[in-house]
Amino acid sequence: GRAQAVFQTTNATTLAVGGASRSGIEAALASVLERGDRVIVGNYGHFGELLCTLAERHGAVVERVAAEWGTPVDVDALVSRIRAAPPKLVAIVHADTSTGILQPLKEIGQACRDTGALLMVDAVLSLGGCAVEVDGWNVDLAVGGLQKCLGGPPGLALLTASERARQVFTSRPSEVDGAYLDLNALEALWVRRHGLELAAVPMAMLYAAREALELVLEEGLAGRWERHARASRTLRAGLQAMGLELFADDRARVPMITLIRVPSGVDESGVRAQLLAERGIEIMAAFGPLRGQVWRIGTMGTNAALPSVLAVLAALEAVLASRGWDARPGAAVDAALAAESANAADDGGR
Q: Which of residues 48-77 bind a second copy (CB under 8 A)?
A: 53-54, 57-58
Q: Which of residues 298-327 bind a second copy (CB under 8 A)?
A: none
Query: Mask 164-193, x = binds a second copy (CB under 8 A)?
Result: -----------x-xxxxx------------
If one counts every other C-beta atom within 10 angstroms of the C-beta of residue 24, the result is: 30
Pairing of strands 61-66, 245-246: unpaired
Q: Write the DSSP string, 235-285.
A: HHHHHHHTT-EESS-GGGB-SSEEEEEPPTTS-HHHHHHHHHHHH----BP
Query: Mask 270-299, x = binds a second copy (CB under 8 A)?
Result: -----------------x------------
Q: Which of residues 206-225 bind a second copy (CB under 8 A)?
A: 208
CA dist list (Å): 91 to 84, 95, 218, 254: 17, 13, 31, 19
Taking CB under 8 A as the rule, does residue 343 contact a second copy? no
Return the range that interacts with a second copy (CB under 8 A); candidates 75-83, 128-136, 199-207, 268-276: 199-207
Cβ at position 225, least distance to a second copy in Å: 23
The Cα 272–Cα 299 span in angstroms is 16
Q: Which is nearer to a second copy, 30 or 130 (CB)?
A: 30
Taking CB under 8 A as the rule, does residue 229 contact a second copy? no
Q: Which of residues 91-150 bind a second copy (CB under 8 A)?
A: 145, 147
Q: Which is nearer to a second copy, 133 or 177 (CB)?
A: 177
Return the range that interacts with a second copy (CB under 8 A); candidates 20-28, 104-112, 136-144, 258-266: 20-28
Q: Which is nearer to a second copy, 65 or 156 (CB)?
A: 156
Cβ at position 249, least distance to a second copy in Å: 25
If one counts every other C-beta atom within 10 angstroms of the C-beta of residue 197, the result is: 12
Work out which of 5, 12, 20, 66 binds a second copy, going by CB under 8 A: 20
The Cα 150–Cα 128 span in angstroms is 5
The Cα 45–Cα 53 span in angstroms is 13
Phi/psi of residue 285, nearest 5 degrees? -75, 175
Please tell me whether residue 32 adopts helix, strand or coil conformation: helix
CB 73 within 8 A of CB 42: yes
Q: Which residues contact 231 (CB under 8 A, 6 or more apart)?
A: 255, 299, 303, 304, 305, 306, 308, 309
Q: Which is nearer to a second copy, 53 or 341 (CB)?
A: 53
Give the residues lining the site for a second copy (CB under 8 A): 18-23, 26, 30, 46, 53-54, 57-58, 145, 147, 153-156, 175, 177-181, 196-197, 199-205, 208, 287
